[in-house]
Amino acid sequence: MSTINKTELRRANERGVAEHGWLSSRHTFSFAHYDDPKQRGFSDLLVINDDRVAPGRGFGMHPHRDMEIFSYVLEGALEHKDTMGTGSVIRPGDVQMISAGTGIAHSEYNHSPSEGVHFLQIWLLPDTKGVTPEYQQSHFSAAEKRGKLRPVITPMGEQGSIRVHQDVRVYAGLFDGDETATLTLGANRYAYVHVARGSITVNGERLSEGDGLKLREVEVLTFADGTDAEVLVFDLRPLESPDFY
């Protein structure tokens, strides 16, 4: 009988690569022309794309349905428009969520004519298909995340977080020097840690920018020894891969 490792490290240089001139992207999980049968998401987490977009360039209007999609800007400004009539600019500290539901189309462009934009686009599978499309955007200050894990996405919008149609919670944290934090998960949960920038030690494992860590049935996560670190943590259902493929 085979056993599943409780922790599984995915280094940044193992990710899929897409270079399009105006777009430089790194795919943690299978996406578009990058297909790795061993990396087709984790639990309800389907996509983490680490995107850098040239000034004034971007993704033209394109459709989605039955997907929870959120953007997390690290540097620069991302301009969003959609068929719900939403128009916004997303900057560092902002979290933007689209519940595509029955169907929407949107575009995403670098808002600046001179500076690049660096952001994460993340897809989660919803627990219900055919919901009414919805747009949400909130700002979470650096002070809220400094030395702690601030919930930014939850099923019920707890603590001023953004609501998501799935049993998943997403936390964001900033760590440097002697700042530490502990996150206690429920029993029989999975977790995924993505390092957006800097480096940090998670449960004794040293992670650098772009690295990811899958954790299975590990009830306590400890974050320490950060060096200008920014992390996203996903508290997930105990599933190996999304029901998508």
3-state secondary structure of 127: coil
pLDDT of 129 > 60? The answer is yes
What average pLDDT does this structure show over 223-236? Answer: 98
Q: Provide the residue ranges of all domains of the chain, joining segments of one domain with +.
A: 7-236
Q: Compute the distance between CA of residue 93 and CA of residue 82 in angstroms, rounded to an integer.
A: 21
pLDDT band for position 243 (cuts 50, 70, 90): confident
User: pTM of the predicted model, to two decimals?
Assistant: 0.96
Long-range contacts, 138-144 (Cβ 8 Å, 24+): 138/94, 138/95, 138/162, 139/93, 139/94, 139/95, 140/93, 140/94, 140/95, 140/172, 141/93, 142/93, 142/174
DSSP 35: -
The rounded percent of the chain whose pLDDT value lies above 90 is: 95
Torsions phi, psi of 145, nearest 5? -105, -10
pLDDT at residue 44, rounded to an integer:
98
Structure confidence at residue 4 as a pLDDT band (50, 70, 90): low
pLDDT of 77-116, one tens digit each?
999 999 999 999 999 999 999 999 999 999 999 999 999 9
Using CA atoms, how far apart are residues 67 and 71, in angstroms rounded to an integer?
Answer: 13
Other C-beta atoms closer than 10 Å to the C-beta of 222 total 12
CA angle, 193 then 49 then 177, to 5°: 40
Instruction: Tell me the Ramachandran region of residue 188: left when phi exceeds 0, alpha when psi lies from -120 to 50, beta otherwise.
Output: left
For the chain, the residue count is 245
Q: Which residue has the higher pLDDT, 101 or 244?
A: 101
Task: Write down the pLDDT at residue 112.
Answer: 96
Q: What would the CATH number be for the domain defined by 7-236?
A: 2.60.120.10
* Inter-residue contact 10 to 192 (CB < 8 Å): no
Measure the CA–CA gap between 218 and 141, rounded to whole angstroms: 29
Task: Tell me the average pLDDT of the chain.
Answer: 95
In the predicted model, is pLDDT for residue 21 greater than 50? yes
